[in-house]
Amino acid sequence: MAGGGTAPAMKMSDVFILLGVTFLLGGLFIHGLVSPVGVDAESDPYTSGASLLKGDSMQFTVEAANQSSFTLEVVDQSGSVVLTDSSTLASGESASVDFEAKEKGFYSFSVEFSEGSGDVLVDVDRKLLIDFIIYPLGAVCVVFGIAKRKDEQGKETLDAVLEPDD
């Protein structure tokens, strides 16, 4: 340390508890903080992508802010267009388009407004719940850390000053 002192070593139980809580909170942020993206006719199309396994799906929800027309296009990793959908929406209406992967690979998508504007929300649903493995892993780390802490507390030595009785 800068002041010339020493810091006690971090206990292994504290490491596991900290790691487990980080996994749990990180999982909440990963799954909970999904927000729609605003797109309009004057801006560039909204493009992104996802790695999907066979049977995984993506749901595109477009909500129009005013009279709008949009085109959705999904392209597989070889560059072939696997889904194209165009729609016109009145102000406040929304449309939902589902896409299911027929084979594993990276799928990119593009949502372009030809007129108007709106919000685009993309929800990826996995057939295998691999995305949720972080929760049991975090819980196991926390439980192991707490058990290890109880075990360490039972083995602590007490420092005492023994004084003779006068």
CB-CB contact of 41 with 117 (8 Å): yes
CB-CB contact of 48 with 72 (8 Å): no
pLDDT tens digit sequence for 38-76: 998 888 999 999 999 999 999 999 999 899 999 999 999
pLDDT averaged over every residue in the chain: 88
Q: Which residue has the tokens 């292994």?
A: 12
> Does the pLDDT value for residue 1 go beyond 70?
no
Give residue 159's pLDDT: 65
Q: Which domains, and CATH codes, for the chain?
A: 12-151 (2.60.120.380)
Residue type, 5: G
pLDDT band at 166 (very low <50, low <70, confident <90, very high): low
DSSP conformation letters of 79-106: S-EEEEEEEEE-TT-EEEEEEE-SSSEE
> Does the pLDDT value for residue 132 go beyond 90?
no
